[in-house]
Amino acid sequence: MSNDIQAKIASFTSIEEALDYFDIGYASKFINENRIELVKRFNGYLILEKPQDWFAARRALKNAYCKVQRSKLDKHTRQACRGCTTCQRR
């Protein structure tokens, strides 16, 4: 099963395809501004732990999206995440 999900991930030609496949809402403006960092973070999570199924791969992508988004927030205020419609850290 893990080979199937890894092959599917390898077939994506853009991060938007991955976000759509894993049913993760996103802001196009955020993706355009942070595409490279998001792709690197997602690939890093996939290297650290090979996803065994759709849910594990989705979790890796959600974590990457959220991590990039939270890194852009002001560290000195209690600013909430914005743009990630599936964020679990609200």
Q: What is the pLDDT of residues 7-54, one digit of tens each?
A: 999 999 999 999 999 999 888 999 999 999 999 999 999 999 999 999
- Which pLDDT does position 76 carry in this prediction? 76
Those residues with Cβ within 8 angstroms of residue 22's Cβ, 6 or more apart along the chain or in another chain: 54, 57, 58, 61, 62
Cβ pair 42, 18 in contact under 8 A: yes
Q: What is the pLDDT of residues 47-75, one digit of tens each?
A: 999 999 999 999 999 999 988 988 887 77
